[in-house]
Structures are given as C-alpha cells and as structure tokens.
Amino acid sequence: MENVSIASEKPKLNFWEIWNMSFGFLGIQFGFALQNANVSRIFETLGAEKDSLPILWLAAPVTGLVVQPIIGYYSDRTWIPKWGRRRPFFAIGAVLATIALFVMPNSPSLWIAAGMLWIMDGSINVSMEPFRAFVGDVLPNDQRTKGFAMQAFFIGIGAVIASILPYALTNWLGVSNTAAEGQIPDSVKWSFYIGGVAFFSAVMWTVFNSKEYPPADIEKLKLENSERGVFTGLAESFMGIFTMPKTMVQLAFVQFFSWFALFAMWIYTTPAVTEHIYGTTDTKSLIYNEGANWVGIMFGVYNGVAALFAFLLPQLAKYFGRKGTHLIALFCGAAGLISIFFIKEPNLLVLSMIGVGIAWASILSVPYAMLSSALPSDKMGYYMGVFNFFIVIPQIVAASILGFILKNFFNNDAIYALIIGGISMLAAGLLSLAVHDHDKEKKVN
C-alpha cells in the first residue's frame, strides 16, 4: 500500500478493509449519542430553564466551527511514516474525548457542565473530522458511497447502544435512575463511563488496523509546511468558505436545513416528550426520568434504523440517483419529526423515529459521497473541514433563535421546535434536487 500515492488511482479494498477503516466511528458515535440524548437532561437537572437550553448547547457547534476546518487543514499537511496522515488525529481526539466523557456527568454545577460540553465536543471533533477525508484518501471514487455507508452503519450501531444505555442500566441491571436535586443519576454516569471506554477502544482499532497512502510528493509537502506559519494555516482554513467548488456551495444549503432540523431535535426532544407526552416538567420526578430514558430509546431506534438503511443507500442510488435518494430520505425524516406532535402514546414514537433514522443514514453519507467526487485529492481534508461549517452554522443559528421563538410565539412549548425542525428538513430535501452530482452518470457501488 505504501507504494501508491494519495493522488494515484487507488485499488479497491475488500469488505473487511473498509470495515476496519470505518470501525472507529462506532466509538465516535458513542460520544455524540451520549451527548445528544443526555446533555439537555444534565443541564435541566443542574437547573437550566428550557429557554436557556439552546444557548448552553452553543458550545457544540461553536467548537465544531473552530476545530473542524483547522483539523482538516492540518491533517492534509501531516505525514508521519508510522502513523500516516489522518490517524494521528484519530488517536489524539480519542484520548481527550475519553477523559471528557468521564468528567462530564460528574459536573457539580451548570457552568462546569457547559464548559465540559465545549471540551467534550471539541475532542470528539478532533477524531471525527479526519474520518470523512479518510474515505476520500483511501477508497477509489466508485467505492466512496460504500465507504460512507459503512461509516453510517457504525454511527448507527454505536448510537443505538449508547442511546439506550441509561434505560438498559436501569431496567436490566437495577442501576439507580433518580438522584437528589441537582445530582446526576448513576444510570447516566455509568453510561458515560462505558462510552469513554468504547470511544477509545474503537478509534484505536482503526488506528492500528488501517493504512494510508503517502502524499504524492513528500518533499514538496515538507517545503510547503516550512514556508507556512501557524497563522497562515489558520487564515487559509477559514477563507476556504470563499473558494468552494460549485457542488459544495449547492450542498451547503442542503446541509444547513438538514442540520438545523437535527439540532432542534437533539435540544428539544427530551423536554418535548417529557412535557407533551408524559405531562411533567419536574426533573426530580420518576415520570420525568422515565420519559428521559424513553428519549434514549427513541434515539436508539433512529440510529438503529440508520445503521440498517445505510446498506440500502448504494442500491437506492443506482435507481434514484444520489440526489433522488437524499430527497426521499429527508422527506421521511420530516414526516417523523412532525408526527411527534400528534402522538400521545410513548410506544408509537418508535414509528416517528423510523423516518428520522432513514434521513439520518442519508445525511451521514450521501452528501459526502457527492462532495468527494467534486474535490481535489490533495485538499480533501481541508474542504471536508470547510464543509462542516454547514453543519455547525445551522446549529449556531438554531441555538440562537429557537429559544426566542418558543418563548415569544409558542408559550415555551418544546414540541413546536420539532415541528420547525420537520419543516426545515422538507426544505433540505427540495434543495437537494439543485445539486450537481459529478458522478451521477456513473455506476454507484
């Protein structure tokens, strides 16, 4: 493998080689799923009001906005003979994220929990961002949809297990699900500890069981690195938004509305379900914590559906094209989010999450497959990092306006945030039709 450069035509990898290079996402999604399903619960337990939740959640997208393009830029410009290009960043992020996952549920106050979210999300991003470029580096173009689908599979599996952990620990192992006022239940604490171990183990599996191609000209890379200072690199990272290829610009709009919807769901599903369906806002009550645990089950369902649906995506793309496949998936997600408003029986929420899971599988793979076909190989990590602006910018917008909208127009009723999210996902689906897919005329494997 070392005799082939990143710029050369790459040989196809077999199933297990793609499996190994994607396995780290199992751990990464452990971290994100625990964050998504439990951080609002932790914040509310420590005294946060519903209208302040979006502001507290700003930590996640702002951290991504800063970290992801920088990591993408510098991972493009890294080559360590024994470690490669992306894998050093996988390993560093795994160590930092594992520590953060152990500390987060032990936060003694709201401001410390908010600060830990910054650290945890930043650390997860250090590992995650280079994984997207890794597929473009290692796989030939006609295997990239398969590579991103494999990532989506592991994202789904990791998120299923992580999302149901508090419920499983409580109902299967008898771990306490309630605690004194201002204290995090043991079921949540132990979920984060397990997640930390899973994160580190899975990422390091990929680090030690995958290889990378060297740059086309290592000496040229060294010379360019010596001529660029740190500030030049930072400036180039953030100026990349003004030099995006046309396909990337078109996909940016799709990503904006997709991730606005997802962020609305992650912030507000717990308060929406506990109030709208379980009828309580008392975070100390047994019924609130039952509802919060059921949100973990819901998130586990949509991630499980995503893991299974990911394997259908390459086949659907053959018949409907990547744009058509993405449109269908996003419409399913929109229907799932909006349907929660009309449901009163908790078990029926599983049906809503099936639609969300179909959308999630496509969001995690199809845009990246289309984008990778339009990017130069020597700037894959850089542009993937810039592309992530359109994951974090909509989250910042959502965090900035959703609390205000709910407070001033919907009497602080969190269920309406999910309806807004569903409408946003409909818009994303329609915008996907405008994307120019460079590989649309080719067979998608």
- Give 10-residue mean pLDDT values along the chain (445 residues): 53 91 92 86 84 76 75 81 89 94 92 89 87 84 82 84 88 87 90 96 95 78 63 64 82 95 92 91 85 88 88 86 93 97 92 96 89 76 78 86 91 93 97 79 40
CB 402 within 8 A of CB 40: no
d(CA 151, CA 70) in angstroms, rounded, equals 22
Sign of CA dihedral 221, 223, 226, 229: negative
Q: What are phi and psi of 291, to 5 degrees?
A: -65, -40
Write down all domains in the chain, each with its CATH number in brackets. 12-228 (1.20.1250.20), 230-444 (1.20.1250.20)
pLDDT score recorded for residue 440: 45
- Largest interatomic CA distance in the chain: 65
pLDDT number for residue 11: 85
What would the DSSP string read from start to end of 219-241? HHHHHHHHH--HHHHHHHHHHGG
* Per-residue pLDDT at 231: 59
Residue whose structure tokens are 């390993």: 91
φ, ψ for residue 11 (rounded to 5)?
-70, 155
Give the span between the Cα atoms of 366 and 216, in whole angstroms: 28
3 vs 143: CA distance, rounded Å: 20
Residue 227 neighbours by CB distance under 10 Å: 8
61 CB-contact burial (10 Å; exposed 0-12 / middle 13-18 / buried 19+): buried
| Residue 234: per-residue pLDDT | 61
Which two three-digit tokens encode residue 156?
A: 């789904």
Q: What is the pLDDT of residue 10?
A: 76
231-235 long-range contacts (CB < 8 A, ≥24 apart) are: 233/70, 233/73, 233/74, 233/77, 234/70
- Pair 259, 394: CB distance under 8 Å: yes
Would you tell me how many other CB atoms lie within 10 Å of the CB of residue 42? 23
The whole-number pLDDT of residue 441 equals 39
Residues 6+ apart with CB under 8 A from 174: none
Q: What confidence score (pLDDT) does residue 209 get? A: 94
Angle between helices 415-431 and 246-276 (to 10 degrees): 160
Q: In DSSP terms, which residues pair with 80 in a beta bridge? A: 84
Q: Classify the phi-psi angles of 444: left when phi > 0, otherwise alpha if psi is within -120 to 50, otherwise beta.
A: beta
Task: Kindly report the pTM of this predicted structure.
Answer: 0.73
Phi and psi, residue 80, nearest 5°: -120, 120
Please give the C-alpha separations between residue 441 and each of 118, 317, 326, in angstroms, as whole numbers.
Answer: 42, 11, 16
SS3 of 84, please? strand
Cβ count within 10 A of residue 183: 13
Distance of CA 350 to the CA centre of its chain: 21
pLDDT value of residue 445: 38
Could you identify the residue written with the tokens 């897919």?
A: 437
The residue type at 85: R
Pick left, alpha or beta for residue 412 (phi over 0 → left; psi -120 to 50 → alpha; otherwise beta). Answer: left
* CA distances (Å), origin 419, targets 5, 215, 285, 300: 48, 47, 27, 21
